[in-house]
Each structure stands twice: as C-alpha cells, then as structure tokens.
Amino acid sequence: MATPIKRIEKDFRLKTLYDDQLPVIYLKDRAQYTLTLEKPPKEELVFRAFEPIEGLKVRDKINLMFDFHGQMLTFTVEILSIREDYITTDEPECLYKDLGRSFARVAAPPDLHAEFMYLGERYSLAYPKIAEDQFEEDENPIKGMNLNDFNGLMTQLGVLVKDFSSEYKLVIFKDVKPSTTEEYLLAETGRAFYIPSTLKSFPKVDPYPKKQIITEDTFKHYKESAGEDPENLDTICAQFIKEKLDQGITSDLWVPIIFKGYVIGYIHVWIIQDEKPLFDYGVVDTIFQFAKILSDSLKVNGFFEAGRLENEPFKGRLIDISASGLLFGYPNSEFSESLLLKSTLSVKLMDPRRNVNATIKIVRSYRDNLQSYFGCDFVDVVPEDIRFLFEFIYGRAFTDRDAAFLAGEV
C-alpha cells in the first residue's frame, strides 16, 4: 500500500523536484506528458508542459508522479489556472511513496463509463448516523453466543457488569433521541465516552488504531462548535467532570451500539464512591464486545428489517483508474452515506470495444460539499480483463513483470 509523505520530507522532495528539474509525468487518455516545476514550490506549484495537453480545465484534479532517486512518488493537485504551456496548481497535502503494486492512477478515459451495484446489505434507519467519513464497522459476528435470545443476552449483560461496575443502563434510540452531551458526542462520532477517573480529565490520546475513544480534544472541539469561547474550554472540561464527581461517580463509560454506521443506542456503566476499581481499557474492550453482540442479536431478530433496502445498479462518475483500482464519485445523499469502508461492490466498466465485470472493495472515502468519493481496490477480475484494462489505461503492452506485480510476486 502507498505510504503518505507529509510535512518536512514532502517539502524537501518538492524542493528537489524544482532544484534538479526532475521530469514530472502525467498520464491522460493513454498518452504520457512531461512537465517540469518552473518556480520554487510555495503555496502554489507552477508547471510547464513540454507539449499541449488537451482537455485540461481549471478545478480539475490531476495525478502526477516523478522518479526520486529510483523511487516513484505520486501526488494529486487541483488546477488553479492554465496559461499557454503553464499550469498552476495548489500544493499537494502529501506525496505517496512505496507504490508497490498500486499502479499509477490516470484520469478516466472519456469513453469509459461505470455502473456499480452494492453487494452487501444496506439500510435506511431512523437512528443517528455517524458523521465521520472514515467509519469502518466490524462485519464478523462474535462466535459462541446465542444471538436469537436477546432477552437472555440482556440477562448476561446484567451479570457481567456487576463484576466491575456499580450501576449500568442500556438505552436504545428508538423512542428517545440523544439529549445529553455524552449522547450527542457518541452518536456523532461512534466512539466511547470514557472518563477513567473523575479526579483527572479526559483521555489525552486514543490508543485504538480505529479510533474508539472520545479524547479531550474531541470534547473541546464539540464544545467550541456549540458556541463556547475557546479560552474557556479548559474550565468547561474541568467543570463537566467535577459535576460527575459531585454526583458520586468515580469512573464513567458510555459505549455506543452500532449497526451499519447508525448508532442504535449505548451501554452506560459507572462506579459510585470507589465501590469498585476504576475502569481500565480491559473494561472498555469488554463493553465494546458486548455492544457488538447486542447489535448482531438485534439484526438476527429482525429489528432492522423494515429499513433494509434493495440493491439496484447505479451510475457513478468514474474519476480515475489504475490496473489495481479506481476512484468514483456520487452525489452526497443518504445512499452515498450507506457506502462504508470495506463495502464490496460489483462494477461494470463499459467501453465501446469491451465491457469488464469486476468486484471492488471500498478502501478509502472522503467528501466535499457536493459529492462523496470512494477509492476502491479490484478484488476479483478475470486475467483477460486485467490485460485489457492495463493496455486500455496505459496504452502499452501488458508484460510478465506487470502480471507479477498484480499477483503480488514482486
């Protein structure tokens, strides 16, 4: 997988790109164009094209690459202006190295169109939807549990939490909506509201790779977005936790119950007056696991069935493509919000000469004011279609070395 290069290293390599006048490659419509950086890189980059590039427009995003001491680097920029042979762009947020098997992306050829269809289950539910674009849900059910017996699971939860908490509460956002600060935050982020000790403060960092904890910065950002004075945020944090201490709470944990990006409810456990040891991350893990079990049980028992959607083909705007994946856009909507990370789709790539059917998986997503964008990897394409795609995209013959890259042998 490509590795991002940011800040100091990025600035150094862009400076070298100008100082050494390294050639920059742009692939478009099965043709290769060469550019050079004409001015020292600052907030904008000014490139000179050695030959005219037809079809470029202001606000187009283009993918460029260059060879840095034998290592191929790539980056994406947006065109700000075009004047004769000079193309001015914004500065890239980062460069990417270690491209490995991720062949260079090129702008989608104008005669190539795409039709997609979601292969998993999609739902439209009347529950809070996690706002974060990068939400990723664990689809694997936890084994060894009788998911059909929801009431039995509730009894198990009550027995389980007695070992480490004074009290607990289960809330489902069916007849009630989020109303407290804790509820609003976990519904918006899909993360746990965790205060290990009310004699201290919020966690400073989230130790989980997938980000599962509301940190002090998250809390402050929420309060600031609600209109609080940034200069008062430390005081607001301290007062918020003191109110819990005044209620006799010494440790507090709220864990969301999540299904398909919706926050269905939460499990709240807390300790009163030092009756138990303070919660640690082992307790957090246990409650997250039980929240997953309850979500799976609700699904098995048909709790979400009324909100299940039929999967139908849809057209997406193909933005760029490589021999190993593609990027497409779709207008911001309830449908685009249902396309989560790791979702699997089928795609039909249609060209006047040939149609290619493949299976793809969403590996990244982001959005702007109008569209959501989905970066996908090919996960199932027949060999003859791989060869056709490669030669169609890059305008050169598919070699044994290219095949070895795609097979993971190089």
DSSP letter for each residue of 109-171: PTT-EEEEEE-S-EE--SS-B---TT-----SPPTT--TT-HHHHHHHHHHHHTTT-SEEEEE
In percent, the amount of the chain with pLDDT more than 70 equals: 91
Confidence of residue 223 (pLDDT cuts 50, 70, 90): very high
pLDDT band of 409, cuts 50, 70, 90: very low
Q: Which of 296, 289, 250 is nearest to 267 (CA)?
A: 289
pLDDT band at 404 (very low <50, low <70, confident <90, very high): low
Q: What are the tens digits of pLDDT across the range 259-298?
A: 988 999 999 999 998 778 999 999 999 999 999 999 999 9
For residue 102, pLDDT over 70 is answered with no
202-215: pLDDT as tens digits: 999 999 888 899 99
- Token pair 């299940």 is found at 308
pLDDT of residue 214: 95
pLDDT in the model for residue 101 = 41
CA distances from 103 to 26, 73, 116 (A): 13, 11, 22
The domains found in the chain, sorted by start residue, are 3-99 (2.30.110.10), 113-120+311-407 (2.40.10.220), 150-306 (3.30.450)
pLDDT, residue 293, reads: 93
Percent composition of the chain: helix, strand, coil (DSSP 3-state, to 5) = 25, 35, 40
Residue 407's pLDDT is 54
Q: How confident is the model at residue 70 (pLDDT cuts 50, 70, 90)?
A: low
